[in-house]
Structures are given as C-alpha cells and as structure tokens.
Structure 1
C-alpha cells in the first residue's frame, strides 16, 4: 500500500488523511473535511484539486454494497494510549486507509481499531503506521480468522 510503486508514498500526512476520509465517505463536504483536519476550506479544496490534477484521485463514484470487494483480511487492534492523547490518536488512526472504525473501551485497553485490507501486507503496513503515532504506548493485534452470525429468524 504505502511502499508500492505508484502508491501514495510521496504524499504528506494531510493528503493521505484526506484520501482516507474520502474513501470512507466520498460525499464528505469540503467544510466537513476542513473541520476534521483543522484546515481552511480553501486549503482543503486546493489540496483536493491538486490530488485530482496529479492523477492521485482519478474519479468520484458510487459503490454499492454488492459491488464492493470484501476485505480479505480483517483484524482488531487494541491500543493503550497516553491519557491526554485520545482525540489526537483517534484522528490519526482514522486517517490511515486500513482503519475502518475506532472505538473507545474500558479495561486494559483504551481504544479498539477495526482494520480491513486486501492482504496481510496491507494489514502489516497499517499496523506499522499506527504504531508510529505519537501517544500510542502499546498495541496488540488479532487477525479475524472466521466470522459466525446467528441464523436469521423469521
């Protein structure tokens, strides 16, 4: 993902965050993105325009549930963080492409992040990038091997 040729490796953290936010919600407004990243609307618009002109963003589309490829690898990352770092760590985690959701929790761990990727290399990249976030003290990640759901009752 980050290390592939033609990847986002040359983009700065803000550009990667904007791309991750747009992947999660392609309908996010410039105002919403500006608020999320603490930037001026004009700055967000200019960055998106630059990403389009450089070919990093090649289009905007609707993807229905039936068209979405399933994530081949899913994992749950438990995180212990510094007491005052919660909001900053959550924002940074959500800017990573492989992070689908972040939950606060109680007990031994402070946060739980749901990860999804096409393969183990992508999960590994996400874990490595997450562990570099300032404010994270310790992590533990478990791969989801299978999922079982209750039978539908009529």
Structure 2
C-alpha cells in the first residue's frame, strides 16, 4: 500500500496509537491500550488494521551507527546525464541493490537524487565512491557532503 493514495480515515484514537508506536515500537499491547485509554482487544484490532492498511509500514530497532562502526554520515547529490523515465528507472534499480545506501530520494532542483549513506569513515567512503557510486548508470555528476553533526535524525512524524 506504500505510495498509494488511499484516503484512510484516522480518528483521535488511531492518531494516539500512532504517536505511541513512534515513541516506542516495543510497547506491549496492554501498555498501548492503557496509554490510549482503550481495551486491549480494541487496541489490538486497531493496531492490526493500521498495519494492514499500510499506515504503519514496520516496527524495527533504531541502531546507534557509531556502535556498529558506521559513524560517518554522507549525503550525496547526484545529477544524471539524461532526465528520462528510462534513465531514472535504471539508476533506481542499481541504487536499491547497494545496501550501504540507506535513503534515496528523487528531488526537484539542482540535483536529480539525494543519497544518504552510512560508512565507517572517509576512507571507506572513498572506496565506495570509486568502486560503486561512479559506476552507477547515467551519472553525470556527484557532489558529496560529509555531515559534521546530526542535529535531528529520524524524528517521529508530526500530524
């Protein structure tokens, strides 16, 4: 259902459950129910529906990148040599295969795409750049931005 334009009606209780899940996806059904002031059975049904409708895409652990030796965050702006549906599709197909790229967005403006990449350090990025990024299909230009400080990262969605 991702990317669909279904009009999903969310009431006050749904919104409360979504906020609670964003704060801590490990809360038990009983804890969620108590915090949302609903019964555990109602809570389970509602959360299950939110998953089935695709409102909640997944619940997963947020890792500390430095603790797993991926402390360097790099943002890469990419300009393709052609702006055609075929060149975009070819580039995107290659990007999804590269596990070190954690985000990729098609954007309007000076760049075609922004990539978010986690690596160990600058030397690791240099190797990735030489062996993978430069070989991506249709790439005309790559501009690299090394993040010096992460001020706000993966914040809950406000709605």
User: With structure 2 as the length reference, what TM-score do the two structures score?
Assistant: 0.49
Larger radius of gyration: 2
Could you give the per-residue CA deviations for residues 88-134 of structure 1, whole angstroms, max 9, x where no partner exists? 11221222232111101011100000011112222112222111122
* Aligned positions of 1:38-49 closer than 5 A: none
Q: Which runs of 5+ in 2 are unaligned?
A: 1-59
How far off its partner does 1:83 sit? 1.4
**8 Å contact from structure 1 (residues 100, 116) kept in 2:** yes
**8 Å contact from structure 2 (residues 94, 137) kept in 1:** no
Return the alpha-carbon distance in structure 2 between the equivalents of residues 109 and 87 of structure 1: 16
Which residue number corresponds to residue 120 of structure 1? 122
Query: In the alignment, which of 94, 104, 107 is matched to residue 105 of structure 1?
Result: 107
Total equivalences in the alignment: 90
Q: Which runs of 4+ in 1 moved over 6 A?
A: none
Which residue number corresponds to residue 63 of structure 2? 65
Q: Relative to 1, partners in 2 of residues 1:136 and 1:64: Cα closer, same or farther, differing over 3 Å?
A: closer
Instruction: Please give the secondary structure, in 2, of the residue aligned with 1:115.
Output: strand
**8 Å contact from structure 1 (residues 80, 110) kept in 2:** yes
CA RMSD of the aligned region, Å?
2.8
